[in-house]
Amino acid sequence: MAKTGGRARTAAAPALSSLDFALDRGSPVPLYYQLAQQLEAAIEHGVLAPGNLLGNEVDLSVRLGLSRPTVRQAIQSLVDKGLLVRRRGVGTQVVHSQVKRPLELSSLYDDLEEAGQGPTTQVVRHEVVPASCDVAAALGVAEGSEVTVLDRLRCTHGQPVALLCNYLPASLLDLDDARLESTGLYRMMRSAGVTLHSARQRVSARAATAEEAARLDEEEGAALLTMQRTAYDDTGRPVEYGTHIYRASRYTFDFQLLVRP
């Protein structure tokens, strides 16, 4: 495995110049694909952040000892994925990283933090309301009884990713906006002694309303992923009902499929 590195020839891409690329020229995996995978990993882990410039293809090909067509193909594959954009007079620029989450009971905040995505949260709504029919059924409480509702906007690298709406039994735990904006809800639940055990979850898709598009920095009608989840503690008690929406351009579920024996 041969490593290529060194300082970039231009000052336009300081983040890229600090990276070392490991390109195996004896591998059957094409060099353009190896380069694209390593660039994508750097974007996903926040090493290359939105707005960073990659420099031009000539500089990259010289630095890495690759042909221009090889570099161009690697860049184009990430442009096609929406991770990079070519801007006239500016060059190739990082747009954003796509959030990839495992298909398991986990907190979006924890997943983003573990992936180096720099999550931040804005509490949009936090109040106690009467439970609607759907919420009451999900949480196993009487319709009209008090539940806590939280609406939060989750961002990475300053860019919106998801709108999260969660309903909790009002007596479950004490919540304050400062903590909700500095950590994840599941982390707060664990700290309060709530042991999460399992969940039922449904994922679908629909178009963004005008209000949703404005909050998520999308066009009205843009594709959104939706998720409904009811989480249970280790006694089987429903402790959370969530209805979340995610930017489809920035969010995927990642899971492994096994052959049934």
Mind spelling out the 3-state secondary structure of 20-66?
CEEECCCCCCCHHHHHHHHHHHHHHCCCCCCCCEEECHHHHHHHHCC
pLDDT of amino acid 118: 64
pLDDT of amino acid 7: 33
CA 21 from centre of chain: 24
- Overall size of the chain counted in residues: 261
Q: Which residue intervals of 85-231 are DSSP H helices?
A: 108-114, 133-139, 177-180, 185-191, 210-216
pLDDT, average across residues 23-45: 85
pLDDT exceeds 70 at position 200:
yes
Fold of 99-254: Chorismate lyase (3.40.1410)
pLDDT exceeds 50 at position 26:
yes
CA torsion angle 243 246 252 257 (round to 10): 10
Q: Which two tokens stand for residue 142?
A: 């009487």
Higher pLDDT, 254 or 79: 79
CB 50 within 8 A of CB 157: yes
Q: What 3-state DSSP class applies to 200?
A: strand
Instruction: Identify the band that residue 12 occupies on the pLDDT scale cut at 50, 70 and 90.
Output: very low
Q: Does domain 2-94 match CATH 1.10.10.10?
A: yes
Residues 109-118 pLDDT 10s: 556 556 555 6
pLDDT exceeds 90 at position 11:
no
Strand order in the sheet with 84-87: 53-55, 91-94, 84-87
Residues 85-111 pLDDT 10s: 777 777 788 876 555 555 555 566 556
Residue 163 CB burial class (10 angstroms; 0-12, 13-18, ≥19): buried
Q: What 3-state DSSP class applies to 17?
A: helix
Residues 145-169 pLDDT 10s: 999 999 999 888 778 888 999 999 9
Domain coordinates in residue numbering, the chain = 2-94, 99-254
